[in-house]
């Protein structure tokens, strides 16, 4: 997000394991910090109660595809199917329309994928800081240090709902972000295209 303001967007991808979600939502609530969640359709179907908790907390929810394929390796029709099935799953649980927020699985995108996303009303949301928190060997301290060492105005931070170490370090991270004079924003506020 191009800006000189000291703002940061925390984002969480969710495709499996919802166990850490309660601690993540509690930390965000305690800090009064918004975040943006990118959910797969499979996550929504497998964990509707957890999805509804994100909705109830007021965080924006974007699409992360239906089954997490590499969009650069599937047909136009399959890309559209992935987007539409996920949007339908969100509607079923009261999450609303995910557009324009979309996070490509694996970050895989090319000109064709970007064109298809735009034709379906989506903006591809990448990241500036990848915490790699999905790796089992990553510690809470490493994840936190990765974020703080790269923190800059407009940074979009990639984390995962399934990251148990992420849930552990989040309260301290939020305190430190605030101590450094930064404010967390949700992507609806941050992306002009998403307004």
Q: Looking at the DSSP assignment, which residues form a beta bridge with residue 61?
A: 37
Q: Is 13 a catalytic residue?
A: yes
From the list 64, 133, 160, 186, the catalytic residue is 160
Give dist(CA 73, CA 93) in Å, integer.
29
125, 186, 187, 136: which is closest to 166 by C-alpha? 136
Phi, psi for 138 (deg, rounded to 5)? -75, 130
88, 98, 155, 92: which is closest to 123 by C-alpha? 98
99, 105, 106: which is closest to 123 by C-alpha? 99
CA atoms within 13 A on the CB side of 186: 19
Give Cα separations from 17 to 27, 85, 145, 161 (angstroms): 18, 20, 24, 7
Q: Is 45 a catalytic residue?
A: no
- β-strands 61-63, 183-184: how paired? unpaired
Catalytic residues: 13, 160
């Amino acid at each position: 997000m191009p800006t000189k303001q000291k703002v940061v967007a925390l984002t969480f991808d969710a495709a499996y394991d919802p166990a850490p979600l309660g601690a993540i939502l509690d930390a965000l609530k305690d800090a009064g910090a918004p975040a943006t969640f990118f959910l797969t359709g499979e996550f929504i179907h497998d964990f509707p109660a957890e999805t509804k908790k994100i909705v109830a907390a007021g965080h924006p929810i974007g699409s992360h595809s239906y089954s997490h394929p590499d969009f650069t390796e599937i047909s136009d029709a399959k890309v559209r199917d992935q987007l539409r099935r996920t949007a339908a799953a969100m509607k079923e649980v009261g999450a609303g329309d995910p557009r324009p927020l979309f996070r490509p699985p694996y970050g895989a995108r090319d000109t064709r994928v970007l064109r298809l996303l735009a034709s379906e009303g989506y903006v591809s949301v990448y990241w500036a800081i990848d915490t790699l928190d999905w790796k089992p060997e990553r510690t809470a301290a490493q994840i936190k240090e990765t974020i703080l060492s790269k923190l800059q105005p407009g940074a979009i931070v990639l984390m995962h709902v399934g990251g148990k170490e992420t849930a552990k370090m989040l309260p301290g991270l939020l305190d430190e972000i605030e101590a450094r004079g930064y404010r967390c924003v949700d992507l609806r506020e941050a992306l002009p295209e998403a307004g």
